[in-house]
Structure 1
């Protein structure tokens, strides 16, 4: 309790900053959930399967871009603490340029996947529906990444409620367009499954336009958007964002891909196991999104402390983020461990086999809540220090060298079924949590604050 009292101001600041970020990130995730709900209720199982598969693959493609652009907020926060408005302007414009580059690169790769959907071995109907759906969603990657890039300016300057309000408005808009375009209500054409894809595209266009309009019209951002700044080159900022963003994006990709491949492994075990896995992973995904909000706030606060040249500030920002994450994830762990049967009953009631498997998986999920929260926050703290290369190697090792192979071995040779897959994930997350946390606190002691003064947006090695 004395530790909490000591860090109360930092805990309060981190909490206030992280809540709007959490809500905004949940809003983006809930758009995919909204698509699935409308498609499942209005069109049936086959279109739902096609939309779910296409959305999952599209999210996997966009994860590198979204994760890569997230480094900009920490850099903006660092420049803001140094009162360098020109640097903030260059970072903002550089982030927009990188978002366009990522859109072309990952959007193009997504289109390539869509035209080769037969590689996934699905039925002819699902292949055709998923291909067309993914082509439209691939186009929506451009406005999504423009929104993410613009949001970095607002988040880095500690105005996260802007993105939160726009995202929640877009979520409502997405639900509206899903309904009217799938069924063809009033003057709107009946597009079936493609109506859901168009709803995603339109809602993301709204997000990008609304975010850009707010930034350029709000008095809050005028000091950073002066006419004199427009002539400043952004080549160096683009290079820095790419140097930090590509490893950071790969870190996010490795984790997302690990859980996506875990679904494949569980699918080999049977339909009941797959259904149970989807129920349990949905619960874990909600708590994970909470932790990523704290992680984003940690990156911003650590970046600000780095910019002001305060090693003590970096330490206190990091510790407060860890305390907040551990507190929240501990509550989630207790809920998972003590109310697992009740939580599963919220999803399904008439399949005893699925209920039994899902309840056991939720218990394992309770144990990895702390590991998941700690590793996520550690990544955010390291992002605030512009330290991304070694963390990328750590996550690659933890997830692809430890978690996935161990999940397969425990599930099949050791015959532990779906629980074996989840124990493998638990081990990978735990190793990542330990290594990344140790990395952060070691980096604090070795951090050269004089170097920061000379190079405010430098890359750590």
Structure 2
């Protein structure tokens, strides 16, 4: 029997495809706000980049260096705290109210521990950049930004814990509203603090950092207020006896979450390495790569949102030990993700030359080489979309089963020992240049997609449905 709420079963409909239709509706209702929220989260980061660019190339370069240094640490922490999502979904399926409270509480504990551990490391940016031979002037300005921006770690990770709780109980619209509000607040804060209108001090990069910190504090406050006051969530009393440890669940968050964080780092690292390979080919290749990657990243938000929904739906079914529910949830999300990626692939293949003109002015003669390359990369990105969507949905479905360690190893192997070597050989040795690099990325993602989808398909044979 399919359920939308723990304890609130949906009466079975008549017809062979009724269970699939019910699951399709439930997954879509859960996923679409998450998709839009992911796009809004990207817009928040894009706002920072755009406004830093208004300050000039030096400020943009410094801010980019600072963000590049901060992001791997942040993504690792987000992956760890993000383990709250599958665990709370499983607790919901098992109708264990006390477990929900303890999981979220230990998610906050994990956020505090990670902040205490990572903050001193992040503050060593000047030392690290000096060893890497970065420009001293840019390093000094990047350090100014980091010294303030690092304060966003705790509230941002708190937001991840609360978002995980809300998404596990299908309350995704509030996630959308607060995230969009955060984008608006961040843009206003950036303008006021970076440029100093109306007699305010002009703080430039430090103003951007302050706006980022304040935005995350506001978002955390709004999420926490909602959870503490809304009748569906106040019953969990998530702050009750906050000081009381629950070491088994604390360890479980790190056991499940650390592989998630490392998987994300491996994928981000793959695309960073691809950008470095492009840098060896020339300016046009780098510009074209940036355009194609931006388009692919925007389309990727849809299967990512569906993947988060898959974690919840699979996790709830797993918590109530419903093997049929797990099957329906996983394959429905996979079908939705694949269907969208087919549409985006066709869009890139058919309209790629027109799309890239949104980023590069075709009337500027110097842009002609980059435009041709970007359209070529986007055509390959169309095929790339299919496997990228498949691997992200499959990975998230497996997270709903608390299966993260083996998928992490599959991802690292596929990205770094399949995708990157192929990209290097085809791009730089065979001489296919940027097209060869993009083919390598597609091969790596395809390899991982096949492994992860196969693992989900063989979940019973592999013993992944046994209660933990």
Pairwise TM-score range, normalised by the shorter structure:
over 0.9
Q: Does 1:166 align with 2:185?
A: no
| C-alpha displacement of 1:82 | 1.4
Distance in 2 separating the partners of 1:223 and 1:287: 37
Change in 2 beyond 3 A, CA 1:108/1:294: farther
Equivalent residue number for residue 285 of structure 1 = 297
Could you report, residue by residue, the CA deviation over 1:87-134 in whole angstroms, capped at 9, with x for unpaired residues? 000001011111112222333332223542234444333222222223
Structure 2 equivalent of residue 234 of structure 1: 246
Structure 2 unaligned spans of 5+: 1-14
Q: d(CA) in 2 for partners of 1:8 and 1:229?
A: 42
Could you report, residue by residue, the CA deviation over 1:331-382 in whole angstroms, capped at 9, with x for unpaired residues? 0000011110011000011210111111111111111101000000000010
Q: Match for 1:397 among 406, 409, 413?
A: 413
Post-superposition CA distance 1:174-230 (Å, at most 9, x none): 000111111112253110122112211111111122211221122221211178776
Q: Output one character per residue of 1:237-286: Cα deviation in whole Å (capped at 9) or x when no partner.
A: 10111110111111111111111221112112211111111111011111
Kindly state the Cα deviation for residue 387 of structure 1 after the two structures are TM-superposed: 0.5
Give me the whole-angstrom Cα distance separating, in 1, the residues matched to 2:433 and 2:19. 46
- Give 1:250's aligned residue: 262
Match of 2:394 among 378, 381, 402: 378
Q: 2:221 aligns with which of 206, 209, 212?
A: 209
Contact 2:104/2:238 (<8 A) preserved: no
Aligned residues: 450
Given the superposition, is the C-alpha separation of residues 368 and 76 from structure 1 closer, same or farther in structure 2, using an over 3 Å criterion? same
Q: Is the 8 A contact 2:196 2:203 kept in 1?
A: yes
Aligned mates of 1:141, 1:180 — CA distance in 2: 22
In structure 2, the partner of 1:17 is 30
The alpha carbon displacement at 1:69 in A equals: 2.1
Moved more, 359-368 or 213-222: 213-222
1:66 lines up with 2:78 in the alignment: yes
- CA distance in 2: counterparts of 1:271 and 1:79, whole angstroms: 51
> Which residue number corresponds to residue 124 of structure 1?
136
Query: 2 CA distance for matches of 1:237 and 1:329?
Result: 36
Is residue 53 from structure 1 mapped to residue 69 from structure 2 by the alignment? no
Native 8 Å contact 1:63 1:256 kept in 2:
no
Contact residue 181 and residue 191 of structure 1 kept, 8 A: yes
Q: CA deviation at 1:317?
A: 0.5
Query: 1:115, 1:131 within 8 Å by CA — same for their partners in 2?
Result: no
Alignment correspondent of 1:100 = 112
Q: Is the 8 A contact 2:427 2:437 kept in 1?
A: yes
Given the alignment of the two structures, is residue 387 of structure 1 paired with residue 403 of structure 2, yes or no?
Answer: yes
Gaps of 5+ in 1: 453-457
CA contact (8 A) 2:27 2:306 kept: yes
Contact map agreement 1:32 1:55 (CA 8 A) in 2? no
Distance 2:444 2:274 in 1: 12
Which shows bigger deviation, 155-164 or 230-239? 230-239
Q: Match of 1:34?
A: 47
Q: Distance in 2 between matches of 1:246 and 1:354?
A: 39
Give the Cα–Cα distance (whole angstroms) in 2 for the partners of residues 227 and 359 of structure 1. 52
The 1:291–1:94 alpha-carbon spacing in structure 2 relative to 1, beyond 3 Å, is same
TM-score, length basis structure 1:
0.93
Match of 2:5 in 1: none
Q: Which residue of 2 aligns with 1:455?
A: none
Q: Which has the higher helix share?
A: 1
2:194–2:204 Cα contact (<8 Å) kept: yes
- State yes or no: 1:347 paired with 2:363: no
Could you tell me how far apart the structure 1 residues matched to 2:70 and 2:445 are? 24
Indicate which of 62, 66, 80 corresponds to 2:92. Answer: 80
Worse overlay, 6-15 or 383-392: 6-15
Which has the larger displacement, 422-431 or 110-119?
110-119
Is 2:310–2:393's contact at 8 Å kept on the other side of the alignment?
Answer: yes
Q: How many Å apart are 1:319 and its aligned residue?
A: 0.6
Which residue is 2:435 aligned to? Answer: 419
- Aligned counterpart in structure 1 of residue 151 of structure 2, from 139, 146, 165: 139
